[in-house]
Every structure is written in structure tokens, then in C-alpha cells.
Amino acid sequence: MPARTSLSGFPEWLPAERIVEQHILDQLRETFELHGFASIETRAVETLDDLLRKGETSKEVYLLERLQDQLQERSDSKKERTLGLHFDLTVPFARYVLDNAGELQFPFRRYQIQKVWRGERPQDGRFREFTQADIDIVGNGTLAFHHEVEIPLVILEAFSKLPIPPVTVLVNNRKIVQGFCEGIGVENVEQALRSIDKLDKIGPEGVRAEMEEFDFQAEQIDQLLKLAQISGDDQSVLNEVRALGVSNELLEEGLEELGALLAAGEKRAPHRLRAELKITRGLDYYTGTVYETELEGHKDLGSICSGGRYDSLASDGKRSYPGVGISIGVSRLVSRILAEGLATASRSVPTAVLVAVMNEESREASQDVAATLRARGIATEVSPNSQKFGKQIRYADRRGIPFVWFIGEDGAHEVKDIRSGEQQSADPQTWRPPAEDLKPTVKLGE
Amino acid sequence: MPARTSLSGFPEWLPAERIVEQHILDQLRETFELHGFASIETRAVETLDDLLRKGETSKEVYLLERLQDQLQERSDSKKERTLGLHFDLTVPFARYVLDNAGELQFPFRRYQIQKVWRGERPQDGRFREFTQADIDIVGNGTLAFHHEVEIPLVILEAFSKLPIPPVTVLVNNRKIVQGFCEGIGVENVEQALRSIDKLDKIGPEGVRAEMEEFDFQAEQIDQLLKLAQISGDDQSVLNEVRALGVSNELLEEGLEELGALLAAGEKRAPHRLRAELKITRGLDYYTGTVYETELEGHKDLGSICSGGRYDSLASDGKRSYPGVGISIGVSRLVSRILAEGLATASRSVPTAVLVAVMNEESREASQDVAATLRARGIATEVSPNSQKFGKQIRYADRRGIPFVWFIGEDGAHEVKDIRSGEQQSADPQTWRPPAEDLKPTVKLGE
């Protein structure tokens, strides 16, 4: 863990690490905006009622109390409604949509990049503050299926631009599992999901033993285990499911949706989108396609980006708002990148040029050069001191600033690339650093 | 107030309003980075001890409590240290510098743009959550004076790029007031500051009456009132002070610093930097130059950006870290801009082009166009439906999307500027929107 913070679970980054995080956030924003998602931010707090509306008591909530109320031991009746910090961006987004339904245009495409908080026990070592990046498309009353195809393609495009190993989106569809269960006469779908969820952990025989305890028939268990072991990135997946011989209308609808999704993946993100019919997480909540993701070489990290289709994000009694969305766990990803040096920043400051100062009387001439370079978009600092040039070069070197600018006693201007030592005369009105040195860059390591 | 939020004091913006805020945040970041300030973020929480270290009990603090701890009525001994949300970015920055002193390069130049929270009483109508944008330069042991000149010039450059009326930075210097008081034999400098602070509210005679109560001599009061009424943006300010005939070493040092600051202002930001010797706010805390700002036509808003020079941001017992910094109240500024329509966004979405869909069978062809345009940096959406083109054009119009792209039955491509109605054939590989339509723009209103 590169975070040097005095409170566990609240990660903080050093300047060079922050450049990696900023680069990732900038890239995500750029991709989301290229696809027409509008930015919103919601307040950090929601009422406790809203936070617990979906029965999310398992999510640890941080409650807020005003210090003054505590000091004055104010009775509860004098306090306002209890407020808590949001633990995800879905609950606040649902509330925002209801608050502003009259002002928003539907389908509403929004992205939201914010911190969230979970009141985990400190000793559990989990993040208690972290950044999420969510995209959702929400309709008013209805939402077309093709948005379920769109979301994972946007995400794959976003990930493909990040300095990280390849990402695969794993998909399943509630309709397939639900329809399949109906088709083979399974009524307790939730238990079926719970048991299948343990497939990787306890193996097929473990799943079978558990399902037998819950009185599933041997043939039902066989069929569900066969279904759960189907995976693939092309239409052959559909044939494998159909070969199991189960006939059900909802199943067929789910297969058609999955087929359309895989076809789009084959065309627009080859081999990066894979059906995994054993995925059950979220199937109790979502109503259509569900998404998880796998970072190549980092399966232990779990899904760094998950989501799905829901038929009612929010409802005001009259209207409901169906949607589809996905959420990236940015801090978890950044933390892994930094801990393993997967990507690093080329320097720890935005500065491309340090203008040296010969003596304090000539500081103004150095400031003139800096102002000229900045006006041309080149990030420039003036040396804070007028010590020997060697010391000023070390100032730049320690920060990774690539160029130092000198004004000679004769008024001649020279710029030195302190990595190569190469020095040349230069005019602040026309000189430019190479494009790759203009701003700090972030590159995937070896 | 344009914020449509169901909790007072927690502002939220609609998508078009958020574009205005984002534009301002982007511009601030760009200017700060051009001047070599590195970004950091600190966690939202600090220990209550750290929050109250400077005796800031007047700042309302939100304390955090885990819901689970409350539900289980856990005794205090089982809880960890009390945590609270930060109410500014200075306290967390000081703690960050101490935590990471061994890893940072000094002088350390950082910017920090984050939300802060204050547990104001809801009925007071103040912001309880708002965004601040801070820059600071912090030294290890020492910090040269010229950074006190640098900070307001960076800020004026930043403000000059924002779609807001002109900003003036008002400055004073603790050394002038302190030295002047010493020179005329005033010992109770703090009371002198408190009285002068009321000059605008109660007038010179009110100030005189109050100072008499505190046993200031008539001549001292005369001199302080004369000092407080001096203001100006050039060196004549120094002569006016010197004409008062007070002789003191610290006063002279303060005047030299103020003179250097005004000279730099005259050169680099003419008429935008003004000495106001009546400014006392913060003089009890800061040790050199202090800054406030005035937004032209919006004096009632108060200072939207304040700061100054401090000799010890933080101290770990052995070393102290002097610094100079300033903090912009972004939410207050954005709220005023939006409430009065000072600036508006050209559209409510990032999208420049909507690709129309003739029928669902041809959606893929529309997606191909969108992918081609996006790969060339043009934000593009595909129409969510395949209704009549008139309805698809209205979809674009309601969001302010300027261009709609059509693929005819014959496969011919045309793009229509829906503002002018002008339609022309176009190739997705080469067509570009005019530069001013590529992204939403934010312009100062009439």
C-alpha cells in the first residue's frame, strides 16, 4: 500500500501518485463525455431514511452529528433528520432523479465521479473512503434494451485507454437464469442463485450437496450445474444453453439479448466481453443483463467494475425510472496500480520548465520568461532561490522537471534538457518542449 | 438559488449548471498547473483533535459515528478516535505535510480542490457543503518573501480566465499595522484591529468612540484612523503612510514588502491589486501579507478568495513549515453566477452530434458513424429511438446538441446544424464541427 495516511482505510496519495489517479480520472471523464454522458455531482449526505430505503443495513453507514449538538446535549427532537454519508452513487442518483425529474431530459445519461464512505471497522483493513466512477442511462417509464449493449462497450473503451492490463467484461442475464429455473420447475430461484454463487469456492459437488439439502431434484441440479459452467464470447454460448433442452419464453428472451450483446462485443471489442453463466452476484437485484469485470493478471482483486439493468431505479408512486448502469471502483484500481508500480508518472509536478534565477536582482527577468512560456501553455516555475545553478538544477531534478532555462549575463537565453545534458539557445516566444514532455505522462510499466 | 436540493445548505446543480462549475474548476486547475502547483487530495475526515487544534471551536464540525456502533450502543472505549469532516483545506494540508514531510520536496507548491463541510444550523441558510480551491507554497524552515508576491498574481491570472466580472485583490500587511502600532505606542494591537475592522460598519466616529472606551489616546486613534483610510494601487500608498511620521523598523519592512507587491501588480495585473490598510481580517492569524478579493458589482458577496502569509503552517516540534496561501470559495462564486445568470453553458450535455436512426435494423450503421466521430474526438450520441426524424431532432434540440447526422436510404451521409437548419453532405472520417461547437462553452452573459 503506497498510501501514507495516519488513519487506516482512508487512502491518500503523494503528488506523483496523485498524477496517476488524475490521469485515470481524466481519461474516464473524456470517454464518458465522448459518449454524451453529462456530469453531475450529488451532495455527500443523504437522509438515513433514503440510505436505508433498499434495506441496505449491511452497508455500513457513517452518521453525522453536529459537534454543537453533541456539546449541548441537544435532545433528539431539536435535531433535524438524521444525515449519513452516501455509501455508493446509486442511492443519491435515484434521489437526484426524483428531485429533478421535471428538469431532466430522458433518457438521461449521466456520469458521476465522487468519493463514497463506508463505516467499516478499522481493523478490517477495508477502504472507508474511496472514489467511484459511475455511468447510468435512465428512462422515464421505459428504456430500450440496446442501452444494455451500450454500457459495457463504453466501459471497455474507457478501460482500453487506461495504463492498466486488459480488462474483460463478464456478463450474464437474469432472464436466462430465471427462465431456465422456471423451465425445469425450480421455484426457489434465490436459493439456486446462492448455491451456484459458491461454485468456484466449493466446486460442483459442494454445490450439489448444498442443493440437495434444499430439496432440489437431482435432475434440476444437473441442469443448473451444466448451465452455470457455460461460458464464451460468441454465439456458441446460446447453442450450448439450447442444447440443454429447456424451453421457456423468458429464457429465450434472455438468450436473444445475450446473443445481441455478444455479437456487438465481437464486432466492437473482440474477446473482451464474455458470457459467464455462473455469475449470480446482483441477479437478485438486477432484472436483465449484469456486468462484472476481470483485470488480467489481477483476478484476486475481484470485479473492479460492476452493474446491470434494473427496472426501477426510483419511483415516485406514479412513474418509475428503469435504467442500466455500471460503477468503477477507482480507488481499488488506483491502489493496485500504485502498490505494484503497474503505471508511474513521468514526474511529480506539472512543471515542464524551471527558469533559473542568476541573482535576486534579475528575478524579474526570469519571471518574464516564465510568463511568456505559460501564456503559450507551457507549465513553468521560477526557481525559488538564486543559489548556484547546480543547486537549481537539483531542484528541478528532484521533481522530475525536464528543462531548466538560463538567462546569461549577456542576456542570451538557453534551455537545458537536464536528462541528456543537452543545452541550446532558445527564444521564449517560440521554443516548445517535445509533446511528450509538455505534461506529466502516465505509462503502463513493464 | 438555482440549486434544487431537498436539504438546505447542500447545493446541487442541474447538468447545464454543472457544466458551468466544471468549466470554472477546469480553468482553475489549468492555471494552477501552469504555475507548477501539484494536485493533492486529502481524506474528508480528520481526528477531532486535529480539527480543534487551532482552537477553532467556532467552526461547526460534523462528527462521524458508525451506524453499527450506534445500533449496538457500543461504549466509547470500544470506538476508535472521534472523526469529523474537515471544515477547510488548511487543517488537512498541515496534517498531510507533517505525515509526508520526508517524501515531499520543499518549497512544496500544491493545489487542492475539494468539498468541505460545516455543521451550520439548517435555519441559518448557510452552505453546509461547499467546494474550495486552495493554493499554498510551503517551505521547510524558511520561505522567501517573493512567494507573497507570486500568490495573488496566480490568483488574478486564474480569475481573469473565468467567465466572471473583474476581480480585485485587496492587500494589507501585518507588519505595517503591527509596526505602526508599536511606533505610536499602542500595546493592545488586537483591540486596535478589532475596532478598525468595524470602520465600514460604524464609521470613523464609531471606531473612535469604541477605542476611547479601551483607553486609546486621542492621538493614537487619529493616527490609526488615518492609516486605515489609506488605499491605492501604486507606490503613493507608501508615501501616504510615511507622511504620518511614524518611525518603526517593522513598519518599514512591511512598507517595503507592500511596495514590492504593488510594483509587481502594476506591471503584471494593472489596477487589479490594491492596498487597503483597513483590512484587518486574518491579521491576528497571518504574519505578513494578507489577501481578500472583491468581485466587481458583487461586493455584497464578501471576499470570494482570502489568505495570507503564515510563519508556521505546522510544526512537528523540531521543524516548522512557513507558508503563504489563498483559498477560493468556489461554491459561493458558482452559486452567484448561476443565480444571476452571469454565465451560462451553451448546452446541457457534452454531445456535439446526435446520429439519427432510421429504423432499428439500421442502428448499427448509426453506431458506426458515432464510433468514427468519437475516435476523432467528437462527442457523439446515437438516437435512443427510431421515431420520425422530427422527434429525433427535438431530442437533440432539448439538450442543445447542435448537429444531427442522417444516413439516407441510399447510404448518403448528411449533417444538419439544427440551429440554422443548414444541411450538407458529410463524411464521418473528415467532417468536423466548428471549434466553438466541439465542446460546451461557458460565456459571461450580457
pLDDT tens column, A285-339: 899 999 999 999 999 999 999 999 998 887 888 889 999 999 999 999 999 999 9
Confidence (pTM):
0.96
pLDDT-derived band at A381 (thresholds 50, 70, 90) equals very high
From chain B, the residues in CB contact with A404 under 8 A are: none
In angstroms, the CA B118 to CA A68 distance is 11
Q: Please answer yes or no on whether B60 and A66 come within 8 Å at the CB atom.
A: yes
Tell me if the bond preceding A107 is cis, omega within 30° of 0.
yes
Contacts with B, A 359-398, CB within 8 Å: 360, 363, 371, 374, 377-381, 384-385, 395, 398
Mean pLDDT of A396-407: 98
Amino acid in position B95: R
* The predicted structure's pLDDT at residue B55: 64
Residues of A annotated in the binding site for L-histidine, as ranges? Answer: 88-90, 118, 132, 136, 281, 285-286
* The predicted structure's pLDDT at residue B1: 39
* The predicted structure's pLDDT at residue A2: 42
Pairing of strands B353-355, B380-382: parallel
Strand order in the sheet with A129-138: A38-39, A108-117, A129-138, A320-329, A305-315, A289-295, A167-173, A273-276, A231-232
Put simply, whether B100 touches A (Cβ < 8 Å) is yes
Whose grid coordinates read 516564465? A370
pLDDT per position as a tens digit, A217-253: 999 999 999 999 999 999 999 999 999 999 999 999 9
Q: Please answer yes or no on whether A349 and B36 come within 8 Å at the CB atom.
A: yes
* The predicted structure's pLDDT at residue A122: 76
Cα dist from B356 to B42, B349, B415, whole Å: 45, 17, 10
In angstroms, the CA B283 to CA B1 distance is 33
Q: Please answer yes or no on whether B13 and A41 come within 8 Å at the CB atom.
A: yes
* The predicted structure's pLDDT at residue A3: 41
Q: Please answer yes or no on whether B374 and A35 come within 8 Å at the CB atom.
A: yes
Are A11 and A335 spatial neighbours (Cβ–Cβ below 8 Å)? yes
> Concatenated DSSP letters for B303-321?
-SEEEEEEEEEEE-SS-EE
> Concatenated DSSP letters for B163-193?
SSS-EEEEEEEHHHHHHHHHHTT---HHHHH
pLDDT per position as a tens digit, A265-285: 999 999 999 999 999 887 778
pLDDT-derived band at A74 (thresholds 50, 70, 90) equals low
Nearest to A15 among B35, B40, B350 (CB): B40
* The predicted structure's pLDDT at residue A1: 39
B372: nearest CA in chain A?
A: A34
Instruction: Mutate one of A27, A67, A324, A372 to test the B interface: name it (highest B CB count within 10 A).
Output: A67
The partner residues of A292 in beta bridges, in order of sequence, read A170
A329 in helix, strand or coil?
strand
A46: nearest CA in chain B?
A: B7
A153: nearest CA in chain B?
A: B371
Nearest to B350 among A15, A33, A45 (CB): A33
pLDDT-derived band at A80 (thresholds 50, 70, 90) equals low
What's the ipTM? 0.95
In angstroms, the CA A45 to CA A246 distance is 48
B115: nearest CA in chain A?
A: A44
Nearest to A350 among B22, B36, B115 (CB): B36
In angstroms, the CA A86 to CA A134 distance is 14
- A199-208 long-range contacts (CB < 8 A, ≥24 apart) are A199/A225, A199/A228, A199/A229, A199/A278, A200/A278, A204/A229
- Tell me how many residue pairs between chain A and chain B have CB atoms under 8 A apart: 209
In our burial notation (b when 16+ CB lie closer than 10 A, e otherwise), range A215-240 reads ebeeebbebbbebbebeebbeebbeb
* The predicted structure's pLDDT at residue B25: 98
Q: Please answer yes or no on whether B36 and A63 come within 8 Å at the CB atom.
A: no
Nearest to A12 among B11, B12, B96 (CB): B96
Are B247 and B172 spatial neighbours (Cβ–Cβ below 8 Å)? no
In angstroms, the CA B378 to CA B351 distance is 8
From chain A, the residues in CB contact with B67 under 8 A are: 48, 60-63, 84, 119
A105 in helix, strand or coil?
coil
DSSP state of B233: S
Put simply, whether A129 touches B (Cβ < 8 Å) is yes
Cα-based angle B204, B207, B208 (whole degrees, multiple of 5): 85
Put simply, whether A35 touches B (Cβ < 8 Å) is yes
Residue whose C-alpha is closest to residue B85's, from B40, B42, B39:
B42
Mean pLDDT of A384-394: 97
- Residues of chain B falling short of pLDDT 50: 1-4
Q: Please answer yes or no on whether B67 and A63 come within 8 Å at the CB atom.
A: yes
pLDDT above 60 (res A342): yes
Distance to chain B for A38, nearest Cα, Å: 5
In angstroms, the CA B301 to CA B86 distance is 23
Q: Please answer yes or no on whether B38 and A268 come within 8 Å at the CB atom.
A: no
* The predicted structure's pLDDT at residue B70: 75
Which residues, 6+ apart, have CB-to-CB distance to A300 below 8 Å?
Answer: none
In angstroms, the CA B301 to CA B314 distance is 31
Instruction: Mutate one of B10, B66, B316, B376 to test the A interface: name it (highest A CB count within 10 A).
Output: B66
